[in-house]
Structure 1
């Protein structure tokens, strides 16, 4: 509030400070979980940043500020999924306050009160302030509006006061971060030689001929990779692999699915609601009060009528009741409240599309075929069968049925004009041309301008208490009779209705486990210090519509990488190395690319590429391969490489033509481009460097 006080003082107003206490709310599930301090966890730290221990209290205070701001801005409490994002924001805020602040202090960076005032009503006003205090008459920022707002801020609602305080509190840290990044960006300098090299990499061009044997030409099943080979590859590439803390679990789910009894209960309920809806004077209000799935309730065209009702259109009468219908786990009933005529027409039709390319010959061939099929239909052939045989779009297997269609609904103009100019039902006499080809069209329901108002009630079938209890009983029995991983597997074999799933490389702050949403409790259990490999969760986890029992099958710790940490990736790398050895051996002593390809076999491809530049990093018909492109520009015209392993296969490249970049006097354009590129990356690189230097340890998973 220092900024407000200073502005008011300079404005001649003596107005007291606004005090808002955000406090620490420690009564939520985040703190009272099984791993919490209150329930006995020995450690009170959620991590370490730049040598400072971060206590659960300090982190919770930061998180409560984030939650308060979220609720204040949105008017609602965050969901569990949104809380995961807020926890990340709170953690990053602590990194900013601690790790960055240490860097600011070393450099003597600070933000004065005068600077803060300047950001609100000075010469360097913050963009958010400019936007909020724009004079509507001039469409320009007006300082007087800011001053008047702050003079009367203590009369505003508490929410607005808190919002301003939050904004003011962010101004200083934002300016400090900007100063720091600007300072570091000034340390970046582009020399003339760098600019020249960039110019040459974009301008010099090469034409090449090359032989390419992709790795996939050798089946993976024919290459056997040993653990010793994986270990050797890892040792040769330690700088590319960093070990991390992960867990692997196997789990079984016990779905809470509605039973036949549950379905019967909801069927009886929807039938009773149908009686109430039929006699209701205000059917719209009755429907809105009793439905599980809100509906628009306005007038709809035939094309917008729910699919379930399509078969009953012929019986539509005002006040009529339709249903119950079942779709998935939902029962639906409808009351036709009103019918009226509109200016827009709907029609139901089917079509057969004969696709044509853009050439005259292609169009002529498609039209000829369309006319032949049209004559067969006029002669008595089934339109639907002809559509299944000759149709070339997604409607073919439905006999060409397009369903109900309303004018202006998205068909191309020529198709729509032909469709709505036809009266009655039946086959249009001639093929209709569109940008896609030629269409045979059959109107199956005549055009109408009727619109219908429906009162809709939908009831979602959910599991009853008995179903819920039975699912929990099975899950609890499974957990209670399973002591370890071996018993987990044995019990799975005994119950053929159960299926297990594996979740690999879970990370400490993951919120989901495969397709299981909001599964933090499972992740926290897996990372608990008390959970050992082979343990089975004695707690049955409840997630949405299912119970889960898990066993810990693997774990890795932060530090030196092991083969198990990256087995899948390492296996792919080693397999490609072994394939490259095989291919290279067969291509030894290449003296002619065409002859070598012929001798190798069908898997060897001979291609050419023109105007290749060093900056492109790609090669036509090969893809991204900076190694291959680099080797090209190490050749002289007429030279050829030996067989070498690229990103996706083995290549032999021959330079057929080289066009050097012409000398230019001024490289400033390329110098400016490079400088801009370096500047745009500053924020990311600075952030990564600060976090790396701070040696951050994140142990929030013990509490959240």
Structure 2
């Protein structure tokens, strides 16, 4: 606590405990404790960073401290998803601490006690300290309150003292990180030539013509791609195919869903509750005691009611409505009171006819069309059918139905018409708003009546019998599947089972496709076998995992080591790229043989698939051709030619092209100073992330957390 002692010697008078919550917020969110289920006596490290082992005990101690801070801040225990996320954050912090400290030491970077004191009570106040001791009413920071607080810190509760001790411990590495990053960021330099070239690329334009032959004009079957060609492509482009560890699995999920018998049993219980609900002396107490999702009785307008209850309008006080089954839940509604609400509600349908433009002629045409449709409805045409045929907004699929809505939710002209109606039915005249002309049908006239509704809900949950049946089915599959072949055969034999595949699972993944909270399955794929024995190998079948409301059995189908991707893991992507390269060779050869001096003549000689198009205002720095998309090579070639010159045929992103600039608009005199500032800002903004990734890459990180978490 050297910093605190130094500060106390210089401190003045006291402040309240406002800083504690903010410090906990700053400190507590990045770590959590995790327990080790498979602790090897011979290896107690969770990983290695820059040649330094990260011991489990040290990692556990850090996580435990942070867990307590998290609980203090959030007032809750973290769930499984938060645990996974926070463990990752803890690992990243550990990586940063070890790898960056080695870089700090190489450069001799230090942070003195005087600097730390300055961050707390000097000129360069740490942002968290400044925020904590700023008066919310005046917006003024008071350094004297900081000094007072620190002088009395030993009188605070232990949690407050621990929070500041952790904050103090983090000040030095944080300041070192800022110094280190600034050394690199402030070295960012943009030359005048770069700035000029950048400014010109953003304003220089060309109008061009181009001949384009899409790759898809040649069938995929006409090109054969071998694994040797795929490997050669990967070797040539290794930088694009760097990968971390990965695992691939096939798996089956057996959901635990409520059966018909389960639903019938719950329905019987709800029917009994309905009888009791009708005579319950205290409705709020009955709801609290019997509902799976208890809420206080509330006054509802028709606009706020569930649809099935709204269909019973007008409602009777004292009556119980339901049960209604929806989304796996039975609901009972008891009306306990009624009164006039502050706002009226109504229900209406409409057909909107929009004007095709802003001219008086367009408006007149829209009005004439709307009048024609209105007359058809008056003559007997179905309103909903007319809405589907003529409507021009998002209500066409529902026959123009707008549902219930309260006053204040629609444009004034529309509301005046709807809430001015006294009965249901078609309004005789069109309603004009800023959107166009509306044909309006009042489904339910305005009402200010509201009802106090108490709600009891019971979820339709699977019983133990249903759960046991699903588990037994999973165990049966496990018994039949001893390797990949028998797993696939067993799944194919049972038509009720659906096999899924997950490729490239990362070592730290928390989910497997849509399976949330599947950490135990990922750990198994990486060799942590809860059944004991040897680590997982390709072809091994997993134990039965319970993940959420389903049982999961998997088989490991592939392993990918950190480094360059193998052919199998990226085959579909690379096959398409290599296939396009081969198609390009065929197309270019045929174009070169085609006779003609103009693009049109060459296209005609080439035959089916060749297109000649124009593109105006193509900008050099954007690399886009309007109507075609990203084609940076084509744009570059166009700016390298004189107007009227044609390029040779070349491979583009989506096909083979020949470009011919028509006119070029050179860039005006560029503001090199502004361009230099813009480029410098762009590069500096990316520096923090790039620095971290570079140091991480050279730290030779070995992540063994799957053994423990």
TM-score between the two structures when normalised by the length of structure 2: 0.91
Q: Does 1:511 align with 2:510?
A: yes
Q: Deviations over 1:408-458 (max 9, x none)?
A: 12x333222221122211111122233443221111212111111110111
Structure 2 distance, partners of 1:494, 1:75, is 50
| Match of residue 421 from structure 1 | 420
Of 459-468 and 160-169, the range deviating more from structure 2: 160-169
Instruction: Kindly report structure 1 stretches of 4+ aligned residues shifted beyond 6 Å.
Output: none
- Contact in 2 for aligned 1:350/1:441 (Cα 8 Å): yes
Structure 2 residues without counterparts, runs of 5 or longer: 15-31, 528-533
* Matching residue within 626, 649, 658 for 1:652: 658
Query: Cα–Cα, structure 1 residues 683 and 243, in superposed 2: closer, same or farther, change >3 Å?
Result: closer
Structure 1 residues without counterparts, runs of 5 or longer: 15-27
Residue 535 of structure 1: SS of its match in structure 2? coil
- Residues matched between the structures, number: 683
Query: Cα–Cα, structure 1 residues 128 and 13, in superposed 2: closer, same or farther, change >3 Å?
Result: closer
Of 258-267 and 632-641, the range deviating more from structure 2: 632-641
* Matching residue within 620, 624, 632 for 1:626: 632
Residue 670 of structure 1: SS of its match in structure 2? helix
| Match of residue 577 from structure 1 | 581
| Match of residue 201 from structure 2 | 201
**Deviation of residue 148 (structure 1)?**
1.6
Query: Cα–Cα, structure 1 residues 663 and 359, in superposed 2: closer, same or farther, change >3 Å?
Result: closer
Structure 1 distance, partners of 2:503, 2:160, is 46
| Match of residue 338 from structure 2 | 339
Alignment RMSD = 2.4
| Match of residue 293 from structure 1 | 293
**Deviation of residue 101 (structure 1)?**
0.2
**Deviation of residue 223 (structure 1)?**
4.4
- Contact in 2 for aligned 1:67/1:86 (Cα 8 Å): no
| Match of residue 530 from structure 1 | 535
Q: Deviations over 1:615-650 (max 9, x none)?
A: 222221222232222222222333221121122222
Q: Does 1:58 align with 2:58?
A: yes
| Match of residue 139 from structure 1 | 139
Q: Residues 343-422 of structure 1 correspond to what in structure 2 (within 5 A)?
A: 343-360=342-359, 361-409=361-409, 411-422=410-421
Structure 2 distance, partners of 1:663, 1:271, is 82
| Match of residue 682 from structure 2 | 677
Query: Cα–Cα, structure 1 residues 593 and 141, in superposed 2: closer, same or farther, change >3 Å?
Result: same
Query: Cα–Cα, structure 1 residues 541 and 156, in superposed 2: closer, same or farther, change >3 Å?
Result: same
**Deviation of residue 384 (structure 1)?**
3.1
- Contact in 2 for aligned 1:350/1:442 (Cα 8 Å): yes
Q: Does 1:545 align with 2:544?
A: no
Query: Cα–Cα, structure 1 residues 461 and 219, in superposed 2: closer, same or farther, change >3 Å?
Result: farther
Q: Deviations over 1:385-420 (max 9, x none)?
A: 3334433444334333222221112x3332222211
| Match of residue 482 from structure 1 | 481
Of 483-492 and 606-615, the range deviating more from structure 2: 606-615
- Contact in 1 for aligned 2:301/2:449 (Cα 8 Å): yes
Query: Cα–Cα, structure 1 residues 426 and 701, in superposed 2: closer, same or farther, change >3 Å?
Result: same
Structure 1 distance, partners of 2:56, 2:415, is 65
Q: Deviations over 1:49-69 (max 9, x none)?
A: 101122222322333233222
Structure 2 distance, partners of 1:93, 1:383, is 63
**Deviation of residue 512 (structure 1)?**
0.7
Structure 2 distance, partners of 1:429, 1:404, is 21
Q: Does 1:318 align with 2:322?
A: no
Residue 78 of structure 1: SS of its match in structure 2? coil
| Match of residue 28 from structure 2 | none
Structure 2 distance, partners of 1:41, 1:264, is 53
**Deviation of residue 674 (structure 1)?**
2.2
Query: Cα–Cα, structure 1 residues 305 and 587, in superposed 2: closer, same or farther, change >3 Å?
Result: same
| Match of residue 596 from structure 1 | 602
**Deviation of residue 212 (structure 1)?**
2.8
Query: Cα–Cα, structure 1 residues 584 and 525, in superposed 2: closer, same or farther, change >3 Å?
Result: same
| Match of residue 22 from structure 1 | none
Structure 2 distance, partners of 1:635, 1:188, is 34
- Contact in 2 for aligned 1:72/1:163 (Cα 8 Å): no
Q: Deviations over 1:185-217 (max 9, x none)?
A: 233222222222222222333222222333345
* Matching residue within 696, 699, 704 for 2:701: 696
Query: Cα–Cα, structure 1 residues 137 and 263, in superposed 2: closer, same or farther, change >3 Å?
Result: closer
Structure 1 distance, partners of 2:145, 2:119, is 14
Of 456-465 and 650-659, the range deviating more from structure 2: 650-659
| Match of residue 252 from structure 2 | 252
Query: Cα–Cα, structure 1 residues 345 and 596, in superposed 2: closer, same or farther, change >3 Å?
Result: farther
Residue 539 of structure 2: SS of its match in structure 1? coil
| Match of residue 49 from structure 1 | 49
Structure 2 distance, partners of 1:436, 1:145, is 58
| Match of residue 150 from structure 2 | 150
Structure 1 distance, partners of 2:436, 2:240, is 53
Query: Cα–Cα, structure 1 residues 218 and 320, in superposed 2: closer, same or farther, change >3 Å?
Result: farther
Structure 1 distance, partners of 2:414, 2:394, is 17
Q: Deviations over 1:287-342 (max 9, x none)?
A: 1342223446322211111012122113x111111000001310000011111112
**Deviation of residue 224 (structure 1)?**
4.1
Q: Residues 73-92 of structure 1 correspond to what in structure 2 (within 5 A)?
A: 73-92=73-92
Query: Cα–Cα, structure 1 residues 285 and 651, in superposed 2: closer, same or farther, change >3 Å?
Result: farther
